[in-house]
Chains A and B, each alone.
Chain A
């Protein structure tokens, strides 16, 4: 280890300290993926907002899945993003990326990767603008 490495490690620790996220899990994050890190199948990792939803087969067969995989299929009865899955199950985002691809390959989860051209799609931009404009200044105080 060089002096540079030590410096980087120190920075990483202070960076975490500045952004506390609660206690570290007892199981090291990538143990659940057998050491695999985020997929590079398509060259770039799946975006954080990628939508995932459980399949009927996945829900029916949930009992044969263990731990995090089962948790993901149970949670994704409602479609949601990879980021939401990671936050709600307190898993590292890259762990969720790996597990989501596993579950997709076994037919338990559908994965919807957004088109990257959306950022330049005029109709999408206009729809987001029109939608935001309807948001009132204050939240309605409904129970």
Chain B
């Protein structure tokens, strides 16, 4: 790999301006928790949807002693982007809206700067899969409680207790519909990633 930030491969001649370096954050959480709303609140393009393949582990994720049988499922994934400057572009990828355990988002998450796990306090169970996933992959993540209708039904200590997330995992509240609120939630993820990268 060259020392430049991206490397043109093959013998194709470069013509247009050099594309920006793309980086990404992953927006995770259960179905209907506000992932696409979150992306849409801050993305410079209307959220796009693409079909991607994810691997579904047929066996329970708690059954690690067995080799799980894997199947590939095609799912819809929403995403958006923010141009940081002409040479750097941040993509926001929403994980497919699955409530069930056992999905692997490796294809999506590989190389991500961090993750935002959105929680609806009325359905805490829906986010366990995402929390477990990021913990397992050692990807910096923040749990963000989406304050539907401007209120959170439980205080953050109760949410932390219920989710059983480690103390070092930041827990924030935000409003997926508000641009400034989404910005601050993403900043919490990036600041955690920076802290971790600094060692």
| Contacts from A to B (Cβ < 8 Å) | 4, 7-8, 11-12, 15-16, 18-21, 29, 38, 44-45, 47-59, 77-81, 83-84, 86-88, 92-94, 104-105, 107-116, 118-122, 124-129, 131-133, 135-139
**How far is the CB of A65 from the nearest CB of chain B, in Å?**
14
How big is chain B's contact interface, by range? 35 or more
Q: List 22 A-B contacts (CB under 8 A).
A: A15-B96, A38-B53, A45-B107, A48-B93, A49-B23, A54-B16, A58-B12, A81-B81, A84-B48, A87-B50, A87-B79, A104-B12, A109-B12, A111-B8, A111-B9, A113-B6, A115-B5, A116-B110, A118-B111, A119-B112, A125-B113, A137-B178
Number of A-B contacts (CB under 8 A): 222
- CB neighbours of A59 from chain B (8 A): 15
| Given known contacts A93-B52, A119-B113, A125-B194, A133 and B9 CB-to-CB distance under 8 angstroms | no
- CB neighbours of A88 from chain B (8 A): 48
State whether B76 touches A20 (Cβ < 8 A).
yes
- CB neighbours of B8 from chain A (8 A): 110-112
**How far is the CB of A127 from the nearest CB of chain B, in Å?**
6
Nearest to B52 among chain A residues (CB) is A93
A4-B198 Cα distance, complex, nearest whole Å: 46
State whether B98 touches A15 (Cβ < 8 A).
yes
Nearest to B196 among chain A residues (CB) is A120
> CB within 8 A of B179: which of A47, A49, A138?
A138
> CB within 8 A of B193: which of A80, A109, A125, A137?
A125
- CB neighbours of A126 from chain B (8 A): 194
Q: Is the interface of B mostly helix, strand, loop or mixed?
A: mixed
State whether A79 touches B16 (Cβ < 8 A).
yes
A82-B12 Cα distance, complex, nearest whole Å: 17
A107-B18 Cα distance, complex, nearest whole Å: 16
